[in-house]
Structure 1
Amino acid sequence: MPFARLATATTPTCHIGLGLAAVGRPGYINLGRDADLGDNRSVDRLRTRTHELLDAAYAQGVRYFDAARSYGRSEEFLADWLNARPDVDDIVVGSKWGYTYTAAWSTDAEQHEVKDHTLATYERQRAESDAILGDRLDLYQIHSVTPDSPALTDKELHARLAEAAAQGLTVGFSTSGPAQADAIRAALAVTVDGEPLFRTVQSTYNALETSAAPALAEAHAAGLTVIVKEAMANGRLAAPHAPDALKAVAEETSLGCDAVALALVLRQPWAGVVLSGAATANQLASNLHAAVVDLDDDQLGRLAALVEGPQAYWEKRGQLPWH
């Protein structure tokens, strides 16, 4: 693991990170946002909510926090929290570049973000992230790499990323879409001067979408830290939307569907950090119970039956509305 602050942490919840996609902007595709956020989604209200979540997560042992340029003001909210707590020096901060937020703080914008993996976008967004997070930025990831992404073949971009790595910034990538495994393997082959470029990979993996697992195991074996996103399938695995099999297992454990869904990911031997995308303090507290969930073979077998094909899963995800 490239982050000693995570590798040496001892609390079980250090393997659960907090992602800020759901609270850094007023609109997102997670189910249940009306109940989670209500009508007041002003900048100040979401800033306060984010700080409350960061306080709660840190107090309970969470040490990885994940933002992105396209998550509205997530970097700004995180930086404000860090600046108010100069004694907090044992966390890892990750962000991403490659998508530009375009919704102008609206939940019904025609377009919420624009993808561009060119060198020009990297340079612009790296300067923006640096201006906000400064030397607190530990990990910078290419956002949602797919097999056809120019970020996989742009040698000039690779050289610039290698320069950043030489200066102490960890360089990684995230993936999305039904061909995540292909994107991961293509990224593992990217080298600069004979050395692998990427140190981390962040991919979608959950009870419904498991297709990236073999490639993530390969990435782990190659020395990359694996960060898992969307372990709750954008709310599809949370009550009341969870499948009946998951609800039954959750009842047997006396914990929430969310804790069971996250625990299923945490038990993967290649999973270094699993992200909670909680939007409320109660959700976060329930998510963190995943660290103590113990699933038996029968329960694992029933949960394994929930898996969807990657094409079907990503088609359903693409139909989730921004709200």
Structure 2
Amino acid sequence: MEHRTLGRSGLRVPVLGFGAGTFGGRGELFGAWGSTDVAAARDIVARCLDAGVTLFDTADVYSEGASEEVLGAALGRRRDEVLISTKAALPIGPGPNDAGTSRQHLRRAVHDALRRLGTDHIDLFQLHAYDAFTPVDEVLSTLDQLVADGAIRYVGVSNHSGWQLMRALERADQHGWPRCVAHQVYYSLIGRDYEWDLMPLAAEEGVGALVWSPLGWGRLTGRVRRGAPLPEGSRLHTTAAAGPPVDDQLLHDVVDVLEAIAGETGRTVPQIALNWLTTRPTVSSVIVGARDLDQLEQNLGAVGWDLDDDQLARLDAVSRRPAPYPHFPYERQEGFARLNPPIAAR
């Protein structure tokens, strides 16, 4: 398993991480994702470690905390062999302090996560959403104290806009507080918005991308076909509205190219979609999930081989969409383009 440095830190993470959103099975949304219990989770953890997948990602809202509980129990004595990433900020209850990134909520969230995970530290703690009500200095000084206390090792964010992340980075630098080294983001062949602002920011400031929903919220499995109904058993029947929007024409055009490349390589559609993401600038780790060992084995087959230049170019061409303002002049006009070469060429 290839390992990469996470942003501007000394932490090395595997290019594939495991997302424990399928663990627990509580609630309508996460119950549709999966209901892996501790016994099955132990088998998944063991196979991940055999393959070199040592990063496990979860969150307090996943199955109302049950994901963290199952993950902690499944790791057991193997805790020191892995990196645990978890997140907090989204509502976990109806109370006025049951959401956000206030000092009150963050300290309680970390304490509760440590208890559920059965550990004394969290390797990467991420703010699951931006909280417009809490001053950024309160957030960052709280994280600084949690690092000093030994409760967390590294700090990241998830689902932040460019200005929100940049503001946090600037304030951290000004005060000597821990910088965000990771940004957990949605990124896929049918959702490339990450590239417009967040990717250049990540490259400039040293923030590694941890990619969530790399198969487009379950649409790039090879089972969703043009002109056909959703397959029986697909979680999209109950979860589509909660995920990222997608253009159906784009989806089917991308799947056509994925299927063609699958025929050329002997790989599966999802393996090709995942492999493409591992080639993208700033991506440190692609977070994959699995309801069972068969799904996990399929996802593990996404690495250890390379797409050729022509295949990469075809995937880039079919999935690319017109640039939004203010980016389109830099693609269309020579004067602008000279000032903004692609990230890889800088």
Q: TM-score range by the shorter chain?
A: 0.7 to 0.9
Aligned twin of 1:299: 311
Aligned twin of 2:260: 248
What is the number of equivalent residue pairs in this alignment? 279
Greater relative contact order, per chain length (Cα 8 Å cut-off, separation 6+): 1
Aligned CA RMSD, in angstroms, stands at 3.0
State the Cα distance separating 1:56 from its structure 2 match: 1.4
CA offsets 1:73-127 (integer angstroms, 9 cap, x no match)? 11111111222xx255231111111124469xxxxxxxxxx85333332122112
Kindly indicate whether residue 210 of structure 2 is the aligned counterpart of residue 227 of structure 1.
yes
Return closer, same or farther for 1:246/1:149 CA change in 2, 3 Å cut-off: farther
In structure 2, what is the Cα distance between the partners aligned to 1:149 and 1:239?
39
Q: Given the alignment, which residue of 120, 124, 129 partners 1:139?
A: 124
State the structure with more CA Rg.
2
2:179 maps to a residue whose letter is: L
Q: Would you say the 8 A contact 1:188–1:198 is kept in 2?
A: yes
State the Cα distance separating 1:227 from its structure 2 match: 1.5
In structure 2, what is the Cα distance between the partners aligned to 1:149 and 1:310?
28
SS of the residue 1:252 aligns to: helix
In structure 2, what is the Cα distance between the partners aligned to 1:28 and 1:206?
25
State the Cα distance separating 1:221 from its structure 2 match: 4.2
In structure 2, what is the Cα distance between the partners aligned to 1:310 and 1:141?
29
Q: TM-score, normalised by structure 1?
A: 0.75
In structure 2, what is the Cα distance between the partners aligned to 1:259 and 1:205?
15
Aligned twin of 1:257: 269
Percent identical residues: 24
In structure 1, what is the Cα distance between the partners aligned to 2:296 and 2:288?
7
In structure 1, what is the Cα distance between the partners aligned to 2:272 and 2:90?
31
In structure 1, what is the Cα distance between the partners aligned to 2:269 and 2:165?
29
Q: TM-score, normalised by structure 2?
A: 0.70
Return closer, same or farther for 1:184/1:25 CA change in 2, 3 Å cut-off: farther
Kindly indicate whether residue 44 of structure 2 is the aligned counterpart of residue 53 of structure 1.
yes
In structure 2, what is the Cα distance between the partners aligned to 1:82 and 1:59?
13
Listed as ranges, the gaps of 5+ residues in structure 2 are: 225-250, 325-346
Pairing of 1:107-122 with structure 2 (within 5 A): 115-122=99-106
Pairing of 1:134-283 with structure 2 (within 5 A): 134-145=119-130, 149-150=132-133, 153-168=135-150, 169-176=152-159, 180-191=161-172, 193-195=175-177, 197-213=179-195, 214-241=197-224, 243-283=255-295
Kindly indicate whether residue 49 of structure 2 is the aligned counterpart of residue 67 of structure 1.
no
